[in-house]
Amino acid sequence: MIRFSHFFTLLVFTVVSLFSVTGCGVAMMSDERLARQSKSQFSQMKKKDPVSKNAKYQRMVKRIGKRITDVAKVDVPGTEWEFVVFDKSEPNAFAMPGGKVGVNSGLIELANEDEDEVAAVIGHEVAHVARRHSNKRMSQGVGVALGGIILDTAMRNKSSGDRALARGAYGVGATVGAVLPFSRSQEREADDLGLIYAAKAGYDPRASIRFWKKMQSKSRRKMPQFLSTHPDSGNRINYLESKMPYAMNLYRNAK
Ligand SMILES: [Zn+2]
């Protein structure tokens, strides 16, 4: 009983501190506040998780990030873009509020170091930030906050990166059950906008289909959990194909 009430107090405190109240009940956390928290999580990750020493990879993601964000013109307050490669073998990438984007070296390898393919993923991640998907998901309510506490507790022994992911980052090729699945509509929105960003930035949009096909066959063979966080990856390819004439037009105009 004591234990429960203690837990309840902790829960209420956490929920209150998680959500800013604006006079009309539980609201979205301010973008600035969320960006600050993400920035500190991201700098923790860079201290604890292996940052890739591959200078070519680091230059590549920074170059792609600059070109994509130049055309995306994201106006979410508190956003300061940063693109970092982590030395991890699973093909994964994530973006956090505040514009912090991580790409695993394994993803660049799966893309055969093809810049257009990596740009497809970075476009998708930038789109999640642009549309404030994390904030929207958190504002869905206490259920998510409670889930966050349980995840934090369950993941005490995991790397700081995995914990940060569990708390509200976005993942492409997300690992384990750590990442709450995105809603299908958020994934679709990120696919759509990401394709447009990459094409406008001068990256061949057809590379997105190439990359997602590789991701799909890899997830079938080795990472069944991928399908639980990205359940519509088959539809994703059909959708991208349907958007290709439009994207190719943007791409040709960008060149
Ligand atoms: Zn996504």
- pLDDT tens-digit profile, the chain (255 residues): 444 444 444 444 444 444 433 333 345 678 888 888 888 889 988 998 899 999 999 999 999 999 999 999 999 999 999 999 999 988 888 888 899 999 999 999 999 999 999 999 999 999 989 998 877 766 654 334 434 444 444 444 555 555 555 555 444 443 323 344 567 788 889 999 999 999 999 999 999 999 999 988 876 665 544 444 445 556 889 999 999 999 999 999 998
CA of 13 relative to ligand 1 center, distance in Å: 30
16 domain-assigned: no
CA of 237 relative to ligand 1 center, distance in Å: 13
pLDDT at 4: 43
Instruction: Determine contact, residues 122/66, Cβ cutoff 8 Å.
Output: no
Report yes or no on whether pTM surpasses 0.85. no
- What angle, rounded to 10 degrees, do the helices at 115-130 and 184-200 form? 130
3 domain-assigned: no
Catalytic member of 125, 187, 189, 241: 125
Tokens of 18: 């998680």
Beta-ladder partners of 51? 86
88 domain-assigned: yes
Size (the chain), residues: 255
User: How many distinct structural domains can be found in the chain?
Assistant: 1
118 domain-assigned: yes
2 domain-assigned: no
Instruction: Determine contact, residues 84/115, Cβ cutoff 8 Å.
Output: no
Residue 117 falls in the annotated catalytic set: no
pLDDT at 59: 98
pLDDT at 133: 83
- How many Å is the Cα radius of gyration of the chain? 18
pLDDT at 191: 92
Domain encompassing residue 41: 31-254
CA of 10 relative to ligand 1 center, distance in Å: 31
214 domain-assigned: yes
185 domain-assigned: yes
20 domain-assigned: no
CA of 6 relative to ligand 1 center, distance in Å: 36
CA distances from 168 to 155, 157, 175 (A): 14, 18, 14
pLDDT at 9: 41
CA of 194 relative to ligand 1 center, distance in Å: 10
Nearest to 200 by CA among 119, 138, 118, 128: 119
pLDDT at 220: 66
